[in-house]
Chain A
Amino acid sequence: MPDTRRITGPESSLSPYTFSADFTATPTQPLNNGVRADGRQEKQHRPVYLQAGLITQARGSAYAEFNRTKVICAVEDFQMQGQITCEVKFATFSCQMRRQPVQDNQEKDMSTQLLEALEPAVCLHKFPKSQVDVYVRVLENDGSALSAAITCASVALADAGIEMYDLVVGCTAKLHGQTILVDPTVSEENAPSTGAGKPGGQVTLGLMPSLHQVSALAFHGDVDFDVLSQAVQTCQDSCQKLYPILQQTLVKTVTERMKDT
């Protein structure tokens, strides 16, 4: 069934990257002399940029940048039954391979994970008659998109003035055997780690830092229990470090808004 609501291209097309040796080659080692491919330490998070309230038409909005991972989020509320909905979408040009304009399974999955991460933080009982819609658009994906989405969405919710117990900070870690890589890039995420004798996986944590409570924990892969709990602890530390950035962003937005009025 052709899509009549969009302008359609040829029936089949191939990304030129499929022919390229650079993109199909497997990266050798996650760490080289204790340093990652982009020069970071194992447990070092990429620099984070956050801005709130940039979409003037939305009730609340935020933009998050983890180096090249760029995520934008808007929050709307309607007079409806009390609930939150989340919609995560990758822009068609956000990945190496072109994404389809309709929401695919990965995006649906991420939407549910985001919803589950935010739900415990929002004081839903304060909004018995309103529906809060969270729209997230990944503009560019260079790894850790889900944690960027969680962080961005919680700032947008706060910007919209929706009451929350605490902000939710997201953090992802990639596990290669005993190695824990915090905030992986896309090439680190895609690096094969599972297999015989090479346990690995990926864990995403949503943390409410002031309450010191975990609102979301998503893991896939196979690792020793000790490594997993160590990874969760590492993510937690990372979230605590990011927390002040979220707070400062919100304070800055509020002071600017006060100045205007």
Chain B
Amino acid sequence: MESGDGSSKPSLAAMTCVLGDLSQPDGSAELTHGGAVVRAAVYGPCEVKMSKEILDKATIEVVFKPKVGLPRCEDKSRERLIHDVFEAAVMVSLHPRSSIMIVLQEMENAEGLMATGVNAACLALLDAGISMKFLVAAVVCFVKSDGSLDLSPETQRGQADLDIVASLTFVFSEKDLNIMCVSSTGKYSVEQYDSCLHLCREASKSVFKFFRESLERKLSKSI
């Protein structure tokens, strides 16, 4: 998405998604955002393991599979983040003593993998028709060495490590655009945090728009 007036205002990289292309899961999505590609599948609400059963709400289980090898500590940390986001966003009390499982497969790792993962999971949940309190959208923002901010990770490829000093991933709830989740790497000042927050919040609107359009497209096709 190019910004209309052609100015250098940071803009979000293009997103494409495929919804419901897997037949076995209840909902699935593959989201490409910039260089990062994540495939998400949702199963549920279905039976839950006795040990994980919660009496008054559904158990959200998240599995994040890396491209190669076994899941490591960083994948566990991603799983926890996605789990905590969707435990607050999904209407868990609708399905007590059951399990909603979100499986994410990393297809292509680039800057902003985490945000793509959250968005892919949200699309897959939409596709599975799981009731949610609100939609969530993740946007990642990069602070460059000269202090400027950037949203589109795609342009950073190749020389990413040299130029980016910090990255902040925000997850917003659609309701009031409040902050659901923040996760960051690198050092940045409070002012930079504020401007990143502002920039990401604006950008999240277009992510929500993208969610709606994708779903509309899919639903109009299937009728």
A residues with CB within 8 A of B: 4-7
- Given contacts A4-B69, A4-B70, 6 further A-B pairs with CB under 8 A are A4-B71, A4-B72, A4-B73, A5-B73, A6-B73, A7-B73
Binding site secondary structure of chain A: loop
Chain B residues, Cβ within 8 Å of A7: 73
How near does chain A come to B222, taking the closest CB pair, in angstroms? 40
How near does chain B come to A8, taking the closest CB pair, in angstroms? 9
Binding site secondary structure of chain B: loop
Q: How far is the CA of A4 from the CA of B72 in the complex (A)?
A: 5
B residues with CB within 8 A of A: 69-73
Chain A residues, Cβ within 8 Å of B70: 4
How near does chain B come to A195, taking the closest CB pair, in angstroms? 47
Q: How far is the CA of A5 from the CA of B73 in the complex (A)?
A: 6
- Kindly report which residue of chain A lies nearest to residue B76, judged by CB atoms: A5
Q: How far is the CA of A7 from the CA of B73 in the complex (A)?
A: 7
Q: How far is the CA of A116 from the CA of B166 in the complex (A)?
A: 55
Q: How far is the CA of A4 from the CA of B71 in the complex (A)?
A: 7
How near does chain A come to B8, taking the closest CB pair, in angstroms? 39
How near does chain A come to B76, taking the closest CB pair, in angstroms? 8
How near does chain A come to B205, taking the closest CB pair, in angstroms? 38
Q: How far is the CA of A197 from the CA of B69 in the complex (A)?
A: 56
- Kindly report which residue of chain A lies nearest to residue B66, judged by CB atoms: A4
How near does chain A come to B114, taking the closest CB pair, in angstroms? 18
Chain A residues, Cβ within 8 Å of B71: 4
How near does chain A come to B212, taking the closest CB pair, in angstroms? 39
How near does chain A come to B68, taking the closest CB pair, in angstroms? 12
Chain B residues, Cβ within 8 Å of A4: 69-73
Q: How far is the CA of A235 from the CA of B167 in the complex (A)?
A: 62
Instruction: List the 8 closest pairs (A to B, CB-CB), nearest first.
Output: A4-B70, A4-B72, A7-B73, A4-B71, A6-B73, A5-B73, A4-B69, A4-B73
Chain A residues, Cβ within 8 Å of B72: 4
How near does chain A come to B214, taking the closest CB pair, in angstroms? 34
- Kindly report which residue of chain A lies nearest to residue B71, judged by CB atoms: A4
How near does chain B come to A1, taking the closest CB pair, in angstroms? 9
Q: How far is the CA of A7 from the CA of B72 in the complex (A)?
A: 8
Q: How far is the CA of A4 from the CA of B69 in the complex (A)?
A: 9
8 contacts between A and B (CB under 8 A): A4-B69, A4-B70, A4-B71, A4-B72, A4-B73, A5-B73, A6-B73, A7-B73
How near does chain A come to B78, taking the closest CB pair, in angstroms? 14
Chain B residues, Cβ within 8 Å of A6: 73
How near does chain A come to B215, taking the closest CB pair, in angstroms? 36
Q: How far is the CA of A5 from the CA of B72 in the complex (A)?
A: 6
Q: How far is the CA of A200 from the CA of B71 in the complex (A)?
A: 50
How near does chain B come to A153, taking the closest CB pair, in angstroms? 30
- Kindly report which residue of chain B lies nearest to residue A1, judged by CB atoms: B70
How near does chain A come to B106, taking the closest CB pair, in angstroms? 15
Q: How far is the CA of A7 from the CA of B75 in the complex (A)?
A: 12
Q: How far is the CA of A256 from the CA of B69 in the complex (A)?
A: 54
- Kindly report which residue of chain B lies nearest to residue A6, judged by CB atoms: B73
Q: How far is the CA of A5 from the CA of B69 in the complex (A)?
A: 13
How near does chain A come to B74, taking the closest CB pair, in angstroms? 9
Q: How far is the CA of A158 from the CA of B165 in the complex (A)?
A: 55
- Kindly report which residue of chain A lies nearest to residue B72, judged by CB atoms: A4
How near does chain B come to A106, taking the closest CB pair, in angstroms? 27
How near does chain B come to A2, taking the closest CB pair, in angstroms? 8
